[in-house]
Amino acid sequence: MEEKQLFTISVYTENNIGLLNRISSIFLKRHINLLSMTASASEIDGVYRFVIVVQITEEAVQKIVGQIEKQIEVIRAFYHTEDQTIFQETALFKIASSLLFEEPQIQNIIKDANAEIVTVNTKWFVLSKTGRRKEIDVIHEKLKPYGLKQFVRSGRIAISKDAMRISEILDEFKINN
């Protein structure tokens, strides 16, 4: 039996209403949990990019990518393994300001994690940490005992180490239409 592994799926699309729902329903129908999903503008004007992280077999990810590409607004979809991508997440932590001065360990946690203080006021301060999921998990666990007022993390953002040829595909599309 094929082993499950983490895959990062990049989907280049037009920006149309309802597409996110249709893409997520492809995973829902197959009972595949999305570990992360982000959407943003891409390197190409007018083209958007979804970055989806799943833990499934390679056979399953190939089928999923094929189903995604059948959506009218999808220009192209790619999948990559962990070692084929460069990826990051960002997290924000909101903590009581008094702890910054009363608990010297907090300053050590910030320094050791290479976190950044985004803002400070009399009641709370906000830290930002960008890195791999495990790095964010470590600082989260270290800060939890001090009482986090709020915590949020982004989904994965990723780029492939190798070229994905999306620009050439779009150029061909423009020539043929």
Give the other-Cβ count within 10 Å of 13's Cβ: 22
- Specify whether 9 is located in the same domain as 23: yes
pTM: 0.83
- Specify whether 99 is located in the same domain as 82: no
pLDDT score recorded for residue 175: 52
Encode pLDDT of 66-108 as tens digits: 999 999 899 999 999 999 999 999 999 999 999 988 988 999 9
pLDDT score recorded for residue 18: 86
- Specify whether 65 is located in the same domain as 10: yes
- Specify whether 115 is located in the same domain as 77: no
For residue 100, give its domain range. Answer: 88-153
- Specify whether 78 is located in the same domain as 46: yes
Task: Taking residues 98-123, report their average pLDDT.
Answer: 93
- Specify whether 82 is located in the same domain as 122: no
Instruction: Find out whether 101 and 55 touch, Cβ atoms under 8 Å.
Output: no
* Cα distances (angstroms) measured from residue 8 to each of 14, 34, 81: 20, 10, 6
- Specify whether 131 is located in the same domain as 45: no
- Specify whether 115 is located in the same domain as 147: yes
Q: First and final CA of the chain: distance in angstroms?
A: 44
* Cα distances (angstroms) measured from residue 89 to each of 4, 86, 128, 131, 153: 22, 11, 11, 6, 7
Task: Provide the CATH number for the domain around residue 147.
Answer: 3.30.70.1150
Encode pLDDT of 124-173 as tens digits: 999 999 999 999 999 999 999 999 999 999 999 998 888 777 767 666 65
pLDDT score recorded for residue 168: 72
The structural domain count of the chain equals 2
pLDDT score recorded for residue 150: 97
